[in-house]
């Protein structure tokens, strides 16, 4: 018997066995499905009904890559996602032929000047340069991977001029001086893995002039890796500044305040996507995370939805005064605005007590989170374009706007969105998910599961191997630098020499009928009921 006949016989035996296995497997599933009591589809259509559950499982991926058009995806459309990636990867983001925006729809527009500023008229720091790595696209074939070349790139950091620098806590012993208007919003170690936090820290440090917020999970060594300025957030769980009984630990606070990178502290009263306390499952509370948060390892931890240390504005402000006195550094608060009443009450108490925050982070309801509940994410807390004017107006109404800086957050991931937020009253802007995308996030929507497939929102050491710090840190830097460059480009178009000078008169609103309203008119309609 020659080799050909042997191979034919072996092939026949293999396919016969394969067919037998398939028949036995199908019969097994048939009887299992017929007898189970949970799924009616499988009882009536055993085996075939499983196709439905398979398609249901892969439905998000099918919609994301095949069926949604460029503008439909949520939370970020394909176009929005790609604009972030292009800034991060190529350090540029240009388009051809025309915008995909639906100009028949209502929306905000930046008011252009008949006489825009020339490049040489822009007022920015001309001394600080940055060196990053970026990709050059060589070829984009249809069936194979893109051909790209990595090159070193030098550019300006696109920071504000010294005269426009933003000073937080000007009356504290150690004011926080910021020359870049965009920083990283609160993201905890534990919610994100060590590789992700490290890449963000080092990338932000490369870009210079910015900050990162630790989130309520405490200050980790990974936040400090790059040497970037830090705003340490303190949530109701007091992670990182608590004793064994869960009480506030003033000695721990003072130790943290001695770290040079820590420039300010933020009390988290609420977050746009979850106006509640936080939760982390015991399996994610490793010994390292437990040490950082000052809790017991491998036990689920919850933070309450309110601080126990204060119960109203006067006691909150007294608590802030203690922190400011103990540390000498600015103290702020993160809030979600539910109506003009809350903003008005906050500003009124700042005026009447002569105390209060050095900065207020206003978080819009459209902001992201590692895990929350649908009813909270969708329906509690105003979006940023409503909340921000209310907060700014209230502070101006009571004459305390000059002593309080406003940081805005809530899907402000592009230069035009940032510029509109600045015109609405923000001094600075926080971004979270935009930065996550720079280090590899693909919107798998698995942040709550510790199973992030790209190693960003997970502490699983095997999954984290996907995230290469030395490559992703440059993408973070490129994105931030491109964002700041875009802000200066918009300022020039509006006739301004710096994005620090955006005001309400530089933005207009067009309704669905084509009528144009000034932002001042919109502003007034939002706040008139408060007055």
pLDDT tens digits along 192-206:
999 999 999 999 999
Average pLDDT over residues 103-113: 93
Complete DSSP assignment for 412-450: --SHHHHHHHHHTT-SEEEESHHHHHHTT----S-TTTT
pLDDT of residue 268: 94
pLDDT of residue 205: 98
pLDDT of residue 275: 63
pLDDT of residue 375: 74
Say what the pTM is: 0.90
What would the two tokens of residue 396 be? 């101006």
Q: Kindly indicate the confidence band of residue 228, based on its pLDDT and cuts at 50, 70 and 90.
A: very high
More confident residue, 523 or 307: 307
pLDDT of residue 451: 86
* SS3 sequence of 206-227: HHCCCEEECCCCCCCCCCCCCC
More confident residue, 112 or 525: 112
* Per-range mean pLDDT, top range of 7-16, 68-77, 252-261, 281-290: 252-261
How many CB atoms lie under 10 A from the CB of residue 2? 6
More confident residue, 32 or 361: 361
pLDDT of residue 449: 82
Place of tokens 């931890």: 301
Average pLDDT over residues 30-39: 85
Q: Which of 105-119, 201-215, 365-379 has the lowest mean pLDDT?
A: 365-379
What would the two tokens of residue 526 be? 């939002």
Average pLDDT over residues 357-386: 82
User: Which residues pair with residue 431 across a beta bridge?
Assistant: 184
Cα–Cα dist 75/437, whole Å: 12
Place of tokens 């004011």: 175
User: Distance from CA of residue 167 to its chain's centroid?
Assistant: 23
Residue 28 predicted with pLDDT over 90: no
Cα–Cα dist 428/413, whole Å: 13
Q: Which of 62-66, 217-221, 308-312, 485-489 has the lowest mean pLDDT?
A: 62-66
In this structure, the chain runs to a length of: 531
Query: What percent of the chain lies above the pLDDT cut of 70?
Result: 96
Those residues whose C-beta lies under 8 Å from the C-beta of residue 391, and which sit 6 or more positions away, are: 335, 337, 343, 346, 360, 362, 406, 425
Residue 380 predicted with pLDDT over 80: no
pLDDT of residue 354: 92
Beta strand 147-156 with 129-139 is: antiparallel
pLDDT of residue 38: 84
């Amino acid at each position: 018997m020659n080799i050909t006949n042997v191979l034919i016989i072996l092939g026949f035996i293999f396919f016969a066995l394969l067919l037998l296995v398939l028949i036995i497997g199908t019969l097994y599933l048939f009887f299992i499905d017929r007898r189970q009591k949970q799924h009616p589809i499988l009882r009536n259509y055993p085996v075939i009904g499983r196709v439905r559950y398979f398609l249901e499982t892969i439905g998000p991926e099918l919609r994301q890559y095949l069926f949604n058009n460029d503008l439909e995806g949520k939370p970020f459309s394909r176009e929005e996602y790609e604009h972030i990636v292009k800034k991060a990867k190529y350090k540029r983001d240009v388009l051809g032929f025309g915008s995909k925006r639906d100009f028949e729809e209502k929306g905000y527009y930046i008011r252009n000047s008949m006489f825009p500023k020339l490049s040489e008229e822009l007022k920015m720091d001309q001394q600080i340069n940055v060196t990053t790595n970026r990709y050059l696209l060589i070829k984009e074939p249809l069936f194979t991977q893109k051909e790209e070349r990595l090159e070193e790139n030098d550019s300006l950091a696109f920071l504000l001029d010294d005269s426009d620098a933003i000073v937080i806590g000007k009356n504290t012993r150690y004011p926080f001086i910021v020359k870049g208007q965009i920083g990283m919003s609160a993201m905890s170690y534990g919610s994100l893995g060590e590789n992700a936090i490290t890449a963000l820290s080092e990338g932000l440090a490369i870009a210079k002039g910015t900050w990162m917020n630790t989130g309520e999970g405490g200050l980790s060594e990974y936040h400090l890796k790059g040497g970037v300025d830090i705003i340490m957030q303190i949530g109701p769980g007091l992670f990182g500044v608590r004793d064994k009984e869960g009480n506030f630990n003033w000695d721990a606070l003072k130790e943290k305040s001695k770290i040079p990178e820590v420039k300010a502290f933020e009390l988290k009263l609420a977050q746009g996507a979850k106006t509640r306390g936080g939760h982390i499952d015991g399996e994610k509370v490793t010994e390292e995370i437990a040490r950082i948060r000052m809790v017991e390892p491998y036990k689920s931890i919850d933070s309450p939805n309110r601080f126990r240390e204060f119960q109203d504005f006067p006691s909150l402000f007294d608590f802030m005064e203690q922190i400011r006195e103990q540390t000498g550094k600015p103290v702020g608060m993160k809030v979600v605005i539910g109506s003009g009443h809350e903003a008005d009450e906050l500003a009124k108490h700042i005026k009447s007590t002569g105390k209060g925050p050095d900065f207020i982070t206003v978080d819009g309801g459209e902001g992201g989170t590692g895990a929350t509940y649908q009813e909270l994410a969708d329906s509690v807390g105003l979006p940023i374009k409503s909340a921000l004017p209310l907060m700014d107006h209230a502070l101006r109404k009571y004459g305390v706007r000059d002593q309080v800086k406003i940081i805005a957050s809530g899907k402000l991931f592009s230069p035009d969105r940032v510029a509109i937020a600045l015109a609405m009253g923000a001094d600075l802007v926080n971004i979270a998910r935009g930065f996550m995308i720079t280090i590899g996030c693909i919107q798998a929507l698995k942040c709550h599961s510790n199973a992030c497939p790209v190693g960003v929102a997970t502490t699983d050491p095997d999954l984290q191997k996907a995230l290469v710090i030395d490559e992703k840190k440059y993408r973070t830097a490129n994105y931030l630098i491109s964002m700041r460059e875009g802000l200066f480009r918009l300022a020039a178009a509006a006739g301004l020499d710096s994005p620090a000078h955006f005001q309400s008169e530089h933005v207009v609103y067009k309704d669905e009928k084509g009528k144009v309203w000034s932002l001042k008119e919109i502003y007034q309609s939002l706040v008139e009921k408060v007055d």
